[in-house]
Structure 1
């Protein structure tokens, strides 16, 4: 059930996450483009393009009349990508949380807008960590926002999507007493102790 209060909280957390991501990208200007990342299939340049491209697609979906996402592959990263992320965060801030009341269309598929918003928060918390860790930059989303993603993510990480050769690597065991960021990246198939 769509809850204005919950979606407002998710929208606020996403906005904060995206602003932190923009700062990471700006601060990583000297990171080699072929530097490895915890997202093992992507080097730094490829992951940055993935992040900026999909954020553009999702933002175009939430801000368009038909709620149809654009093509993430058609997006080029300008400079560090930081300014693009900030501009997209501002566009989302204008229409959320109300835009999340409508389904978001991705190609021929659609998902409830509130689910898409929670998915974005989770994705950019984890990919922000990927990029920050690759660049040696700090990354510290609010614990409350991380706990929300820890509640949401298991519903997306089904056997169809997680495991060898799938969209997400198998979960990495992390103690239940670990900080929420470590638990979230472990759940998402990353080793919280990964270093470049």
Structure 2
């Protein structure tokens, strides 16, 4: 868990840095996550990072059931969520379930899901902006092991929540394999 915690804090910090680079003329640019332009994607990652942090920080693991609206400086909000989440995890919060509304998920499993989501959404944003995105390879490998548990036929394919997998060679870099598994063309 401490490795996942470390990887997640780094990914969120890098994501906050990336959000801080968005220029005024880039907010409406499309992203590889086709349901979001840059502005909507930043709202999504900011709102959910704040929600996840609140849930892990809550003594009973209860988070709001949806993304928390964030006004103002979104890169600062992501940094604050990263720090709050990291402090809660340091205190053992991943040992209890995380509740989003009444739905619960084991804390460690939710943490792996959050890491995967932010690695991929970071790539979405970096790709849309033409900026680099280079999460730690060990964290990517952990997500490559975890993501197939979520990306099943029930949830992935035409007309489903996740786009179909994109074929890539087994020798492709871990980030390329992860985004391809998540339904995006890496290049």
The counterpart of 1:49, out of the listed 43, 48, 51, is 43
CA distance in 1 between partners of 2:65 and 2:50 (Å): 8
Following TM superposition, where does structure 1 have runs of at least 4 consecutive aligned residues deviating by more than 4 angstroms? none
Of residues 91-100 and 180-189 in structure 1, the stretch that sits farther from structure 2 once superposed is 91-100
Provide the residue aligned with 2:121 in structure 1: 127
How many residues end up aligned between the 2 structures?
186
Match of 1:181? 175
Match of 2:57 among 44, 53, 63: 63
CA contact (8 A) 2:32 2:128 kept: yes
TM-score, L = length of structure 2: 0.95
CA positional deviation for 1:72: 3.5
Kept in 2, the 8 Å contact 1:49–1:77? The answer is: no
Long gaps (5+) in structure 2: none
CA distance in 2: counterparts of 1:16 and 1:158, whole angstroms: 27
- In the alignment, which residue of structure 2 is the partner of 1:91? 84
- In structure 1, the partner of 2:75 is 82
Q: What is the root-mean-square deviation of aligned Cα atoms in Å?
A: 1.2
Q: Distance in 2 between matches of 1:88 and 1:108?
A: 22
| Structure 2 counterpart of 1:145 | 139
1:29 is displaced (CA, Å) by 3.0
Relative to structure 1, the CA distance from residue 116 to residue 74 in structure 2 (aligned partners, 3 Å threshold; closer, same or farther) is closer
Using the size of structure 1 for normalisation, the TM-score is 0.91
